[in-house]
Copies of this chain bind each other. A is one copy, B any other.
């Protein structure tokens, strides 16, 4: 079975861990990389201190490779912050981004390979040689796409990097618009379209529908390729609130209600075949989309594996129906 999963950070990574569990792929193992292809969001990427930071790719890599800070959901376990403190002592800006020492090494490797001319997809593969995430992890694009957020603090609109809005301002500044700078001219990374085209199913994890999944779908060619596949999504909204994170602030910026139904309709029936909502949203309907309800809290790996199984079952059922 070939499964493609476009993924953001924490939500995507945790869903993937459950999916691996459901398929019997051990954490940290090589896995059968032909089974799961992850298309990682790179819209959150940022250059800090000359280093290239790819938060979502790294969260997936660390989580599936057994190196993540479990309670935090991102960054490395047993992390220290000496480099960050020293940079601050030199007066370097910004100070609001939590660059840990272990994490810094990843960004040094990436920046050095970038300077040597390697594309992000090749760099990601090289980093995964260490982490063995048990999936094939591809960036959505090798081109530079950066999500910027248009805010207005009373002195006119200005665009700030997504990370500044998300991490520094905790998404508390109302967003007028969210823009994928460079998205129009980006091309899917090598292997992305091929993976989608040969997939038995595409699963949308409960990642942020705007800045994670939306960013991936914004790379020309990816959404169209998925439209031809069987796609089942897992709602990131339960009972009118995001499961975690601040997806509501992102949805508000694009004029979409924070409800399981509104997100399904935002994705659209041309993309989604099936949609899993939580039991709290039982009875939700979305035209042209098969909606099922079941417990959606990813409280542990077992519960997450159950969600993944339900998504796979629904996909299998829907594929049988269209044949």
Contact = CB atoms under 8 A, between A and B. Distances in A.
Contact of A109 (B92, B101, B115): B92
A220 B82 CA distance: 40
A80 B79 CA distance: 12
A100 to B, nearest CB: 9
B50 A115 contact: yes
A105 B83 contact: yes
Interface residues on A, range: 20 to 34
A283 to B, nearest CB: 50
A90 B50 contact: no
A126 B130 CA distance: 37
Contact of A112 (B49, B104, B108, B115): B49
In terms of DSSP, what is the predominant structure of the interface of chain A? helix
Copies of this chain, complex-wide, total 2
A227 to B, nearest CB: 38
A35 interface: no
Given A108-B51, A112-B49, A112-B50, A102 B82 contact: yes
A16 B112 CA distance: 36
Given A50-B111, A80-B82, A90-B105, 19 more contacts: A49-B108, A49-B109, A50-B50, A50-B108, A51-B108, A80-B80, A80-B101, A82-B82, A82-B105, A83-B104, A83-B108, A86-B102, A86-B104, A86-B105, A86-B106, A89-B105, A90-B127, A91-B129, A91-B130
Interface of A: 49-51, 80, 82-83, 86-87, 89-92, 101-102, 104-106, 108-109, 111-112, 115, 126-127, 129-130
